[in-house]
Structure 1
Amino acid sequence: MDELFRPLSFIRGPAMKNRFALAPMTNKQSADDGTASIGDALTTSVATPALTDKRKRRKVARAGAVGNFIEFFDFTLYGFFAVTIAALFFPQESPTAALLSTFALFGVAFFIRPVGAIVFGHIGDRIGRKRALVVAVILMSGSTTAIGALPTYETVGILAPVMLLLCRLTQGFSAGGELTGAMVLVVEHSPVKERGRNASWVIASIVSGVAGASLVALLVSFSMSSDQLLDWGWRIPFLIAAPLGLAGLILRLNLEESDAYKSAVQEMDGPENARTPLAQAFKTVKQEMLTLFGWVAVQSFAGDILVGFMLTYLVTRVGYAMAEALLIIVIGHVIAIAFIPVLGRWADRVSRKCFAAALAGALAIWTLPAFLLLSRGMVAAVVAIAVYATINYSMMTVQAFAVVELFPVDVRYTASAFPFQLAYALFGGSAPFVATWLVSNVSDLTPAYAIVVLALPALWLAWSAIPNAREMAVVSFLDTEPTDD
């Protein structure tokens, strides 16, 4: 394993002039052997081994899933306890200003994500996926636990919001490398015919994080008085990140790099092959990065309306009590957890384009009825949330395919993480604000119409830009030095 941790200077090489997708596979080909033929223009390629030990793949899936659970557990918790955090960490001369400051820190964590994506992408492509994900889970769980231990404004004054800001920046920075890194790790270890099934467990861990945070918030709210909640109860959910992070760290320390990544290290092993992954990615896979950006923009906008806006919408616009709204979200997400792996298995049986188009079409069709059902009672609201969550989170399975099937191995982490997190920052981070403005200034259903409008270009992306199952080149460079005529 020593070759994985050599200095970063070993990554420069000749420039690239061609695409590096291998010959695309039919569903039958991918189901039969999980491999693809090598394109003539490529230097070296590696097909993911179809007979990789299943126990090892389950271990990789667990290691990838735990960090995503912590990430979405934390981000959801922060939104649920925003009012409490505002009361404890900001001056109370203006409660509204304190709440706005709390949500401003929520947004800051999104906008630092692309920076984390660049840093963790570089580590993941040049030192190792394992190293990047170990650092990410330490930072994520550590900063989340730290929030639960912070002194309040009453105790240390202005230092309280400053320390909270530092924790949120650390969370956002680590999140920039977590989700896409976990997708790369899990899918890179998977044979083609099992990529949908294995990726779906990573996605299910995200939904579990949202559901878990909702459930914890519900239990804490029910089990203690308002004074107890303000005094110490709010800290408990954040402190839970400590044992979760330790479990994730243990799992990730015992991982091995994928065969594809090991081959990339061997191919790039030499001073003539040293180059910065981000620069190389922009030079060679800029169009593919735009494809991923577009798909994530749609999914993250729709997804963060569910995570960051829906609870407030159910309480303030539909009229549910807070406990009822939390229960609707928890049950809806639990149902989605059960169905996401089913759709993951279906994704392994149909073409990628068909799967992506079906989900984009379903999002366009279901969103408006879902918003209408929210006011028809708790059962109807649970159905609305469950189906919406299943569709939206399953769109992330397409993203998991894309990070492996759009990008060569040597720039895969960086080329996927940067557009992914940039789209998340611009569209996901702004979704609750945009939805709140639309509801306040237009109508209660306007956010649904906005999602429908965004889903239409996603349909076009599905058919024109999302690739079907294929293997990618190990390296993204070919000799392009000018030749004498």
Structure 2
Amino acid sequence: MSTASATDVPLRVRRKAVFAASLGNFIEWFEFTLYGFFAAIIALNFFTFDGGEPSLVATFAAFGVSFVFRPLGAVVFAHFGDRTGRRTTLSVAVISMSLATFAIGVAPSYETAGVLAPVLLVLARLVQGFSAGGEFGGATSYMVEYAPKDRRAFYGSWQFFTQLFAGLCAAGTGAGLAAVLTEADLVEWGWRVPFVLTLPLGLIGLYLRLKLDETPEFAESREAPRSEAPGRTPILVALRDHWRSLVTLIGMMITGTTTIYMMQAFWPAFLVEQVGMRHSDMYGAMAAGIGANLVLIPLWAVVSDRIGRRKPFLVATPVLLLLVAVPVYWLLLQGEFATTLAGYLLVALAGSPMMGVLATAMADSFPTAVRYSGLSLAYSLAVSIFGGFTPLVLSSMVEGTGDLMSPAYYLMATAVVSVVAAALFREPVPDAETEAEPEPAPGRSS
């Protein structure tokens, strides 16, 4: 199908739909990233066993375990999203995330409940992971499917924009609490406040998403006489006919997802516990770095729409990260606000080109009938393997080797993989971006 149906939708309606999808996406990722920002405090409350030292490894293991459930959530949400529509599945995703985040905020500490405390925390994280598995594919589909043909990258860029804006707000929440509360109050009860307040946020997101209509591309695909997967499971069709795209997209995402979870989940605890920075300085540098990304991401998307290509931006990010990884970690290890700020800004400059175009490049790699499934599967697998366990891997590397520079070498290794994958990425045909053809299965002629 063409994008004419999306173009014919009044601008006011398109903006309202993208805003509602973005706001729900923001709520989801604000709730999900809170854990990483408060990792050091969560370690004190849930993983200080028998009066010993708080375990960051155990804390990050609980962070990472939620990602085991993300592919399962992706499969379940995507199945219904491609078969029955995007709206309902996205509504369920946002409210279940809010309930799980609220549960973390009211969970008893280890001192109060013993081993039950980390068990309840892990259960809530599993529900968060399941819910997050259905968010990316649905929200990205919604944004791109409402976009005019010549602004698809810009509309899709709101996916990562809202993710990082959610991170900025979570960092701002942490900085604000650290500024007005004593360290003892922040550890004892202050960290719980934003987790508890996510429940009303989730109710707002639920209301907004239930008021949405289905996207014009999805509605037209349901009425078309031919459908890529009539009566068949969309996730299986995506695996069978688009496996090459899945592999390429996962490879491209390795560096980006490692970088995001390194900055938002590993660095907060690393800079405070290992480097010795104050919470307020760490949050300030992080906020500035994320702010730089928020400026650059839509700008790169606009440039991509103007030139009609996305591959140069997909290649640029892993190449730049390969070059700046070691200098960035050298800057962080100085332990000063100015050098940490410089490190965050370098990563923002290197990572933003890909984030400006990646969501749309992924969406245009799959036809409408299996787009939710293809997006969800590629994203959840990449994030589950190379994102959620990034803090655990990096903290284990630091503890195991004693080398505070070791995370830089890990980032460089992921960048090499993403350079290769981006080089292999097949740019969609400009006049048929939403009609990605099935890839020939092994043994079939194309």
Fold conserved between structures, TM > 0.5: yes
Tell me the CA shift for residue 238 of structure 1: 0.6
Partner of 1:472: 434
In terms of fraction of residues, the more helix-rich structure is: 2
Tell me the CA shift for residue 380 of structure 1: 3.7
Alignment of 1:240-259 (within 5 A): 240-259=197-216
Partner of 1:366: 324
Offset from partner CA, 1:209-249 (integer Å, 9 cap, x none)? 11111121122122223443344322211122123222222
Residue identity in the other structure for 2:2: V
Cα distance in 1, alignment partners of residues 275 and 122 from structure 2? 33
**Match 1:164 to one of 102, 118, 121:** 121
Residue identity in the other structure for 1:414: S
Alignment of 1:176-325 (within 5 A): 176-267=133-224, 273-325=230-282
Between 204-213 and 436-445, the greater mean CA deviation after superposition: 436-445
Going from structure 1 to structure 2, the CA distance change for 1:268 and 1:432 (only over 3 Å counts) comes to farther
Cα distance in 2, alignment partners of residues 375 and 54 from structure 1? 48
1:452 is aligned to 2:412: yes
- Note the residue ranges of structure 1 that are not aligned, 5 or more in a row: 1-44
Cα distance in 2, alignment partners of residues 173 and 51 from structure 1? 35
Tell me the CA shift for residue 103 of structure 1: 2.6
Tell me the CA shift for residue 402 of structure 1: 2.7
Offset from partner CA, 1:432-457 (integer Å, 9 cap, x none)? 22222333416333322332332233
Going from structure 1 to structure 2, the CA distance change for 1:56 and 1:474 (only over 3 Å counts) comes to farther
Going from structure 1 to structure 2, the CA distance change for 1:448 and 1:278 (only over 3 Å counts) comes to same
Per chain length, whose mean CA-contact separation is higher, i.e. which structure has more relative contact order (CA < 8 Å, sep 6+)? 1
Partner of 2:343: 384
Cα distance in 1, alignment partners of residues 116 and 405 from structure 2? 41
Q: Secondary structure at the match of 1:309?
A: helix
- Whether the 8 Å CA contact 1:113–1:174 is kept in 2: the answer is yes
**Match 1:335 to one of 268, 280, 292:** 292
Provide the aligned C-alpha RMSD in A.
2.7
- Note the residue ranges of structure 2 that are not aligned, 5 or more in a row: none
Residue identity in the other structure for 1:416: L
- Whether the 8 Å CA contact 2:36–2:268 is kept in 1: the answer is no
When the two structures are superposed, what TM-score results if normalisation uses the length of structure 1?
0.82
- Whether the 8 Å CA contact 2:159–2:359 is kept in 1: the answer is no
Offset from partner CA, 1:361-418 (integer Å, 9 cap, x none)? 2222333332233356423432321231353254234331133211111111111211
Cα distance in 1, alignment partners of residues 277 and 130 from structure 2? 35
Cα distance in 1, alignment partners of residues 43 and 390 from structure 2? 21
Residue identity in the other structure for 1:273: P
Q: Secondary structure at the match of 1:93?
A: helix
- Whether the 8 Å CA contact 1:410–1:475 is kept in 2: the answer is no
Cα distance in 2, alignment partners of residues 390 and 303 from structure 1? 13
Residue identity in the other structure for 1:373: L
Cα distance in 2, alignment partners of residues 81 and 346 from structure 1? 36
Offset from partner CA, 1:335-378 (integer Å, 9 cap, x none)? 22122221221121231112212223222233333223335642
- Whether the 8 Å CA contact 1:46–1:474 is kept in 2: the answer is no
Partner of 1:18: none
1:119 is aligned to 2:76: yes
Cα distance in 1, alignment partners of residues 291 and 165 from structure 2? 7
Going from structure 1 to structure 2, the CA distance change for 1:363 and 1:193 (only over 3 Å counts) comes to farther
Residue identity in the other structure for 1:370: V
Partner of 1:7: none
Partner of 1:432: 391
Cα distance in 2, alignment partners of residues 319 and 88 from structure 1? 20
- Whether the 8 Å CA contact 2:366–2:374 is kept in 1: the answer is yes
Q: Secondary structure at the match of 2:134?
A: helix
Tell me the CA shift for residue 325 of structure 1: 1.5
- Whether the 8 Å CA contact 2:165–2:290 is kept in 1: the answer is yes
Offset from partner CA, 1:24-60 (integer Å, 9 cap, x none)? xxxxxxxxxxxxxxxxxxxxx3335334322222222
Between 184-193 and 372-381, the greater mean CA deviation after superposition: 372-381
Between 149-158 and 110-119, the greater mean CA deviation after superposition: 149-158
- Whether the 8 Å CA contact 2:60–2:392 is kept in 1: the answer is no
- Whether the 8 Å CA contact 1:409–1:475 is kept in 2: the answer is no
Residue identity in the other structure for 1:406: S
Residue identity in the other structure for 2:165: S
Q: Which has the larger radius of gyration?
A: 1
Alignment of 1:124-163 (within 5 A): 124-163=81-120
Cα distance in 2, alignment partners of residues 74 and 390 from structure 1? 26
Between 168-177 and 355-364, the greater mean CA deviation after superposition: 355-364
Going from structure 1 to structure 2, the CA distance change for 1:320 and 1:89 (only over 3 Å counts) comes to closer
Tell me the CA shift for residue 90 of structure 1: 5.3
Task: Provide the aligned length of Structure 1 versus Structure 2.
Answer: 434
1:79 is aligned to 2:36: yes
Cα distance in 1, alignment partners of residues 378 and 191 from structure 2? 34
Going from structure 1 to structure 2, the CA distance change for 1:361 and 1:192 (only over 3 Å counts) comes to farther
Going from structure 1 to structure 2, the CA distance change for 1:393 and 1:113 (only over 3 Å counts) comes to farther
Residue identity in the other structure for 2:283: L
Residue identity in the other structure for 2:395: T
Partner of 1:5: none
Partner of 1:46: 2
